[in-house]
Amino acid sequence: MVCLMRSVQSSMFNANSQSEAGVFRRLWRLCCQIALVQSGLRSYLEPVIRLMRPNYRAGLQSATLLSVSRQPGYLQMQLKAGRSFSGFVPGQHLDLTVELDGVLITRTFSISSSLQQFLQNRTLQLTIKVQPHSGLTQQLLARAGESLPCYVSQARGDFELEQSQSALMLAAGSGITPVHSMLSSLSRLTRPITLIYSYRGAGNLLFADSWPQLRARFPLLTIVLRDTSTEGRLTDAEFIAALGALKVKEGQSVSAGPQGATKEPMLYLCGPLAFSQYWQQQAKVLGISQIRQESFGLSQQSHGEAVPVSVTQHGRTLQFHSQGNLLQSLEQAGLAPRYGCRRGICMQCLCTKTAGQVRNELTGHVSDAGAGLVQLCISTALTKLELQLDAVSTATQDNNPCTT
């Protein structure tokens, strides 16, 4: 009997030890996962801070949405930046995050207003092309006049104007927005600049009131407004002619004053990806080595191509294409995945990946193609992906580290 009791006690002790060890391993793994994806102390403390400041988001600067107006095809947003926003260099861009029905939607836009406007009243203007299938622009249109929580990142980018040399600027569509910020921020101009702005149809001409004013202020500024619906696209011959005329004007401005020796003109390109790539190639053929460009549209370097995703939840399987943040893509597809902080902190959106690769948006880490755990709110699909949104597999938790 004594031997039997000792045997039972020994078995219970071993079972309890194994259970405690299992709990400890899970807690330790969770702590490691959190530590690996947080960018700072504020991210850890965000859930607590939001109890006192509901609109607080770690790493984001709060902003006040003052107004949203529309012209055909575009929205003009006026924002007042919070005290933590440190300013910008004309030509830079930022991330705008808007909270709509509890969902954070983030997009990147160039600042289109002048630096002087920001210095006077801390306001910024963003000029946004309306996308028929974009949830952000459609919601902003529907809720114009409402008070919406929004946030901005610090400005970034090196698409800046070098004022010590002449410049030929080619802009197309909404690619004119950073160029407008550059030119409207000028206080003086000592080198000639030629801007050729291509747009399709009179209704898509942005900043129509600004161009006559800028021409009047700066005699060395040449602005060519080209409506491609009636004039066609800029040709190679017209590009070469504009470059030649700029060089002549540069020589005249140098001979008329003490500005220094003539420098090769800088070429600035901003517009759709195909537009920028074409003119960059043409410039290299002509021997132009000084090029600054900012492009938008689908590319592997920016938003990536849409990736097929298969999701299983409650016994049902849904297939769709994801482009960008996985949590946002799932919600746009009509699913309701579990989430909490939406910033990679609380682990509420953790789910099982059975196949495919994802990138962690905070760390840049790329997962392997096998099974693992994924935080939806900070992950982007890179390859064909299979997700299980039901309860996270215990076996996966025990045997595989978090992949994002």
Same domain, 173 and 278: yes
Please tell me whether residues 283 and 364 are part of one structural domain: no
| Residue-range definition of the domain harbouring residue 171 | 167-296
DSSP 147-201: ---EEEPPPB------TTS-EEEEEEGGGHHHHHHHHHT-S---S-EEEEEEESS
The confidence score (pLDDT) of residue 53 equals: 75
User: How many Cβ atoms from other residues are within 10 Å of residue 264's Cβ?
Assistant: 13
- The yes-or-no verdict on residue 361 having pLDDT over 50 is yes
Assess if residue 381 is contained within a domain. Answer: yes
* Structure confidence by residue, pLDDT tens digits, 325-340: 899 889 888 888 887 7
Query: Domain with 237 in it: what CATH number?
Result: 3.40.50.80
pLDDT for the residue 296: 63
DSSP state of 260: -
Is residue 169 within 8 A of residue 268, CB to CB? The reply is yes
307-313 and 316-322 beta bridge pairing: antiparallel
Alpha-carbon dihedral angle through residues 29, 35, 37, 38, given to the nearest 10 degrees: 150
Helices and strands (H and E) in the chain: how many: 11, 18
pLDDT tens readout for residues 232-288: 999 999 999 999 999 888 876 555 454 555 578 999 999 987 898 899 999 989 888
Rounded to the nearest 5°, which phi and psi values hold at 317?
-115, 130
Q: Identify whether 302 is part of a domain.
A: no
In terms of domains, do 69 and 127 share one?
yes
pLDDT value for 49: 75
Determine the Cα angle at 208 with ends 67 and 168, to 5°: 115
Tell me: the pLDDT tens digits for 44-57? 677 777 778 776 77
Judge whether 193 and 221 are in contact, CB under 8 Å: yes
Q: Which residues contact 9 (CB under 8 A, 6 or more apart)?
A: none
- The single-letter DSSP state of residue 101 is T
Residues 286 and 313 in one domain: no
Per-residue pLDDT at 7 exceeds 50: no
In this structure, the answer to whether residues 92 and 143 fall within a common structural domain is yes
Whether residues 199 and 232 share a domain: the answer is: yes
Quote the number of domains for the chain.
4
Domain stops at, among 296, 320, 339? 296
